[in-house]
Structure 1
Amino acid sequence: MPDITTFETLDREIERIGGKPIVLEALWAGDTGGWYLLLYIYTVKGIFFFKRTTRHLLGEVSSPEGIEYFTNGKPSVSLLAEQFGNKASEKYNLTFYFPSPKDTDEDCPAWTERHLAITCADCSKLIIPTDSPHLPKDICYDCHLTREENEKLKDDSPADGGVHMYLYKDDEYEPIGYCTNFESFPIAPFIEEKVKNRLNENAIDIVKLDRQDIIELKGKLENALDQKLDKYEIPVIDERKKRFIITHTLKYKGKEYELMRNFNDEHIRISNFIHSVETAEKAIAENYIYEFYFNKGITYRDDSFLRFIHYVCHGRTNIADISNRYTNILTDTEVLQTLKKLEQLRCVMISNDGVQITQLGQCII
Structure 2
Amino acid sequence: MPAITSLESLDRAIQQVSGTHKVLEALWEGDTQGWYLCLSVYAEQGIWPVKRTVCHPLGTVTLGSDLRLFTGQVPPWPEAELVKTFVQQTQRTYGLTLYLPSEEPDDECPRWTERAHARACADCGKLGFPSDSPYLPKDVCYRCHLRREQNARIRNEAACDDGVNLYVYKDGVHRSLGYATHFDSFAIAPYVDPARLPAPLPGGVHVVTLEKEALVDIHARLTADLTEQLSSYEPAEKDARKSHFYHFEEINYQGVAYELEVKLHRLHRDISRVFHAWAGTQQAIADGASYWIYFKRGITHRDDAVLRYLNYPTPSPKRMDQVVQHYHGILTEQEVSRTLAKLEAMHCLERVGRDVTISQTGSNIV
TM-score (norm 1): 0.85
**Cα pair distance change 1:225/1:75, threshold 3 Å:** farther
Aligned residue number for residue 24 of structure 1: 24
Displacement of 1:296 in angstroms is 0.8
Uncovered stretches (5+) of structure 2, i.e. residues with no partner: none
Deviation digits for residues 230-270 of structure 1, max 9, x if unmatched? 2342765648x84xx6857554346374756x666666655
**Cα pair distance change 1:123/1:290, threshold 3 Å:** same
Displacement of 1:364 in angstroms is 1.1
Deviation digits for residues 77-124 of structure 1, max 9, x if unmatched? 3333433444455542222111010x3222211111101100101111
Aligned residue number for residue 163 of structure 1: 164
Paired with 2:66 and 2:310, the residues of 1 have a C-alpha distance of 24
**Cα pair distance change 1:187/1:120, threshold 3 Å:** same
Paired with 1:165 and 1:270, the residues of 2 have a C-alpha distance of 21
Contact 2:167 2:291 in 1 (8 A): yes
Aligned residue number for residue 80 of structure 2: 78
Contact 2:236 2:261 in 1 (8 A): no
Deviation digits for residues 178-228 of structure 1, max 9, x if unmatched? 223323323333338456456643411112222233234334445555636
Aligned length: 360
* Equivalent residue letter for 2:29: A
Displacement of 1:340 in angstroms is 0.9
Contact 1:19 1:44 in 2 (8 A): yes
Aligned residue number for residue 47 of structure 2: 47
Most deviating of 266-275 and 74-83: 266-275
Identical residues among aligned pairs (%) = 36
* Equivalent residue letter for 1:190: Y
Displacement of 1:300 in angstroms is 0.9
Say which SS state the counterpart of residue 176 (structure 2) adopts.
strand
Deviation digits for residues 140-160 of structure 1, max 9, x if unmatched? 112111111111111111111
Paired with 2:246 and 2:112, the residues of 1 have a C-alpha distance of 37
Aligned residue number for residue 349 of structure 1: 350
Paired with 2:175 and 2:276, the residues of 1 have a C-alpha distance of 15
Paired with 1:315 and 1:34, the residues of 2 have a C-alpha distance of 27
**Cα pair distance change 1:294/1:2, threshold 3 Å:** farther
Most deviating of 1-10 and 115-124: 1-10
Paired with 1:145 and 1:80, the residues of 2 have a C-alpha distance of 28
Aligned residue number for residue 35 of structure 2: 35
Aligned residue number for residue 100 of structure 2: 98
Paired with 2:365 and 2:176, the residues of 1 have a C-alpha distance of 11
Aligned residue number for residue 325 of structure 2: 324
Aligned residue number for residue 290 of structure 1: 291
Paired with 1:171 and 1:246, the residues of 2 have a C-alpha distance of 40
TM-score (norm 2): 0.85
Paired with 1:256 and 1:14, the residues of 2 have a C-alpha distance of 57
Aligned residue number for residue 233 of structure 1: 236
Most deviating of 207-216 and 343-352: 207-216
Q: Does 1:187 align with 2:174?
A: no
Contact 1:167 1:176 in 2 (8 A): yes
**Structure number with bigger Rg:** 2
**Cα pair distance change 1:64/1:28, threshold 3 Å:** closer
Paired with 1:92 and 1:237, the residues of 2 have a C-alpha distance of 58
Deviation digits for residues 303-359 of structure 1, max 9, x if unmatched? 111111222573211211111111111111111111111111111111221212111
Aligned residue number for residue 131 of structure 2: 130
Aligned residue number for residue 10 of structure 2: 10
**Cα pair distance change 1:16/1:269, threshold 3 Å:** farther
**Cα pair distance change 1:109/1:40, threshold 3 Å:** same
**Cα pair distance change 1:17/1:266, threshold 3 Å:** farther
Most deviating of 296-305 and 34-43: 34-43
**Cα pair distance change 1:163/1:59, threshold 3 Å:** farther
Say which SS state the counterpart of residue 113 (structure 1) adopts.
helix
RMSD value over aligned CA atoms? 3.2
Uncovered stretches (5+) of structure 1, i.e. residues with no partner: none
Paired with 1:222 and 1:90, the residues of 2 have a C-alpha distance of 74
Deviation digits for residues 124-177 of structure 1, max 9, x if unmatched? 111111122221111011211111111111111111112111111232211121
Q: Does 1:209 align with 2:207?
A: no
Say which SS state the counterpart of residue 295 (structure 1) adopts.
strand
Most deviating of 32-41 and 140-149: 32-41
Displacement of 1:46 in angstroms is 2.5
